[in-house]
Structure 1
Amino acid sequence: MLTLGVAQSAEPPIYLGVDISYANEMDDCGAVYRSGGKPVDQYQFFKAAGANVARIRIWNDPDWTKYSNLADVKRSIRRAKRAGLQVLLDFHYSDDWADGEKQLAPKAWAKLSTQDQAKALYAFTHDTLTELDREGLMPELVQVGNETNGEIVSSLAKAKEPIHWDRNALLFNAGIKAVRDAGAESKIKPRVMLHIAQPENVEPWFAAAAKAGVSDFDIIGISYYSKWSKRSMAQLGQTINRLRNTYAADVLVVETAYPFTTANADSSPNLLGEDSLIAGYPATPAGQKKYLIDLTQLVLASGGTGVFYWEPSWLSTKTCGTRWGKGSNWENAALFDFKGQALEGADWLKTAYVFPVEVTFKTKATTDAAFIDGDFLGGVGPRPMTREGDAFVYRTRLMPGAAVTVATAEASDQVADSPAVAAAIGQSAAVVPLP
């Protein structure tokens, strides 16, 4: 007999975060942020708005800027921890931007053999985390790479080639091991995230990674920008659901953004314009807020564990800019207007979301193996149940009120023609609390 239990614990923990890696630079450039007409500190503002994590990037040796190096990262983490925020440290493993189109090796590693690059990656990761830990700045979450769609620590040419997974796995496993080893020496044991840009790329990448032996990660991070994705929001939700039921990892959207206007405050072109808009979500402050609320609820309803905004406070200033022009390429997609006043989109963080509940499927163990299948799995196929004492169990998250159809089979690699069990998650009498 299959029984179904609903956990009586509190809502599952989620991460609602903001990537404010530009915060120090913006402050140095004279940007002023206001809420209700009063000046606010960026970290303090987002904590009060409902964020619980600050995401901060780190480059290896960015000799073209004084920001996002280790000294600047220490400054950022201190500010985050003073505000009561957890920290997600994002290793780019490059001296410059690493993203879905490029993963440029740091200049100090460019001519090393693969084996020596793996040793260097391990040392850089471990030494950075150890130094942060000594100063009370150990992050709670660590990204081993940023938008690593292509081969990590490589070149522009390799970004267009098929990934050499023997090499790629060696480098990823070196970074993961460095995080684990540094955590073993610390009171804080950082969780490991692997991060891929755009949902259509995530499942093939993780399938290849698993085949190559990359498995010791805690979180799957996804970038979702409609401009660069072939997937709709609904399809993003379906992808998250499949990932959640395929891997023993949490899944979240670690980068997203939406414009509150298509106007421009400076000579730097906006990266998110008309080509970034989704039907039903106009480029207005209200449209931006609606997008973030709907996306977050979709992620949670699909079994995901959170959403991060990139980059909510990268404003246009008169004194600073990028290598491509004065000002900001993102000021129309920040969560502050052109004058630095907080927009209503920031309220996305404290919205009253409907959270999934922890659900356990349980059946008596009468054979050596058991599998479970059902519509709630999103079509990933039968999943193995875990043996616990004299029973097999399978745990997942489902939304209150969701109706599910479940079939189980024991000692088989596919679901047999056993009677389906229909149950409603929530207050239905069909739910059997587990002892």
Structure 2
Amino acid sequence: MKKIIVTILFLALFSIPKSNAQEFSKGADVTWLPQMEATGYQFFDTDGTKKDALQLLKDRGMNTVRLRVFVNPSDDPRSGHCSKEETVELALRAQKMGFRIMINFHYSDSWADPGKQNKPAAWKDLPFDKLANEVYNHTFEVMTALQKANVKTEWVQVGNEIPGGMLWPEGSTDNWVQLGKLLNKGYDAVKAVDKAIKVIVHLDEGDNIQKYRTFYDNATAQKVRYDVIGLSYYPFWVKKDYTETIANLEFNLNDLVKRYNKEVMVVEVGGEYDKVENTKALLEATIKAVRNVPNNKGLGVLYWEPQGEKSWSGYNLSAWLPDGKPSPALDAFKD
């Protein structure tokens, strides 16, 4: 009898389905989607059937969406929107379709990236201590709104592509003491809402090993709190083919895990929409590199705005065809 009970317990233990947190994340930033729909853009499957863009992405193996948040955005369809209310609405819609949720705080009224980290207009003249408090308050407010809507957020980015810091000039990497405080304010606000959420600190140029060492060595010295290192990977922007840079990405992913004892995730990737086979190969290589990080420390790969078809967005690195259908390159996300 004892042997039978042990056998039953063994089988039960190893037949428990993996939780979301154990699954490899495959997905996309889709924040333009509501604006595209509002302007009448329509999405179609390969057979010409009109479909929800989220369903089309899900059909291609995606299980995660990433949504950006601006502080006081304009209503411009391409550089605005992304308010707290719109973020909650889109997150809830995606979650109901089975997607996991990542939230990306830009701490700006519009795009923040390596070339610009503009403070929100309402925060422009605040002394540093009040600026830091606004980072906490804004983060806490958005995360609380998501929680009240029953959105289960798995990851939160504190800042978007911040190799030079954020909220310039106060949060520049020219003043790491202040940048460290701002990052920790964002971290603390997220954890105050839900300690289980993983906080990401995110840089561009995922194949640039020295850039990452410089930044995260400084972050370590300032005791910056975070759970995951987020990377962007766009060979296009450095005018190289992925075959010239993928080895450096692979090395960097593994080096970051060893050096900082953190998990890693490619939170942005993209290739040219009109070079389908090359973009598919880029995605396959990137997914393989992250999957191969030892001890399941490579969490996933997300495409940046695949549905943002060029005739609507002007974005050359979307993964959608001119006829409104998903690019075959996205088949790289299928198991």
Please report the TM-score for the alignment, with normalisation by the length of structure 1.
0.66
TM alignment of 1:22-101, pairs within 5 A: 22-35=32-45, 36-65=47-76, 67-101=81-115
| 1:54 Cα offset (Å) | 0.2
Residue among 323, 326, 333 paired with 2:317: 333
Q: CA deviation digits over 1:117-139, x for unaligned, max 9? A: 11111011011111221111242
**Which one has a bigger Cα radius of gyration?**
1
Rounded to whole Å, the distance in 2 between the matches of 1:60 and 1:124 is 8
Match of 1:144 in 2: 158
Q: CA deviation digits over 1:47-96, x for unaligned, max 9? A: 22211110000000013536211121122112211110011000000001
| 1:31 Cα offset (Å) | 1.3
Do the aligned residues in 1 keep the contact of 2:236 with 2:271 (CA within 8 Å)? no
| 1:289 Cα offset (Å) | 1.2
| 1:192 Cα offset (Å) | 0.7
The more displaced of 59-68 and 128-137 is: 59-68
Rounded to whole Å, the distance in 2 between the matches of 1:178 and 1:116 is 15
Match of 2:307 in 1: 313
Rounded to whole Å, the distance in 1 between the matches of 2:270 and 2:317 is 7
Q: 1:167 is paired with a residue of what secondary structure?
A: helix
Match of 1:272 in 2: none
Q: 1:38 is paired with a residue of what secondary structure?
A: coil
Residue among 195, 204, 210 paired with 2:202: 195
Do the aligned residues in 1 keep the contact of 2:246 with 2:285 (CA within 8 Å)? no
* Amino acid paired to 1:27: E
Gaps of 5+ in 1: 1-7, 262-282, 318-326, 352-435
| 1:335 Cα offset (Å) | 2.2
| 1:151 Cα offset (Å) | 2.4
Do the aligned residues in 1 keep the contact of 2:88 with 2:145 (CA within 8 Å)? no
Match of 1:286 in 2: 277
TM alignment of 1:344-355, pairs within 5 A: 344-351=328-335
Q: CA deviation digits over 1:332-383, x for unaligned, max 9? A: 43222001112211211113xxxxxxxxxxxxxxxxxxxxxxxxxxxxxxxx
Rounded to whole Å, the distance in 2 between the matches of 1:239 and 1:316 is 31
TM alignment of 1:67-216, pairs within 5 A: 67-155=81-169, 162-184=173-195, 189-199=196-206, 200=208, 201-214=211-224, 216=225
* Amino acid paired to 1:23: L
Q: 1:34 is paired with a residue of what secondary structure?
A: coil
Match of 1:363 in 2: none
Do the aligned residues in 2 keep the contact of 1:143 with 1:193 (CA within 8 Å)? yes
Match of 1:233 in 2: 246
Rounded to whole Å, the distance in 2 between the matches of 1:219 and 1:126 is 19
Q: CA deviation digits over 1:263-297, x for unaligned, max 9? A: xxxxxxxxxxxxxxxxxxxx2x2222121112211
Q: Size of the alignment, in residue pairs?
A: 304
* Amino acid paired to 1:104: N
* Amino acid paired to 1:310: W
Rounded to whole Å, the distance in 2 between the matches of 1:149 and 1:69 is 24
Do the aligned residues in 2 keep the contact of 1:26 with 1:315 (CA within 8 Å)? no
Rounded to whole Å, the distance in 2 between the matches of 1:195 and 1:298 is 18
| 1:328 Cα offset (Å) | 2.1
Residue among 193, 214, 218 paired with 2:227: 218
Calculate percent identity across the aligned residue pairs.
28
Q: 2:121 is paired with a residue of what secondary structure?
A: coil
Rounded to whole Å, the distance in 2 between the matches of 1:28 and 1:171 is 35
Do the aligned residues in 2 keep the contact of 1:293 with 1:348 (CA within 8 Å)? yes
Moved over 6 A (4+): 8-11
| 1:162 Cα offset (Å) | 4.7
Match of 1:271 in 2: none
Q: 1:124 is paired with a residue of what secondary structure?
A: helix
RMSD (CA atoms): 2.1
* Structure with more strand by fraction: 1
Q: CA deviation digits over 1:231-283, x for unaligned, max 9? A: 7111111011100112232111111100132xxxxxxxxxxxxxxxxxxxxx2
* Amino acid paired to 1:300: R
* Amino acid paired to 2:135: L
Rounded to whole Å, the distance in 1 between the matches of 2:217 and 2:23 is 26
Gaps of 5+ in 2: 1-13
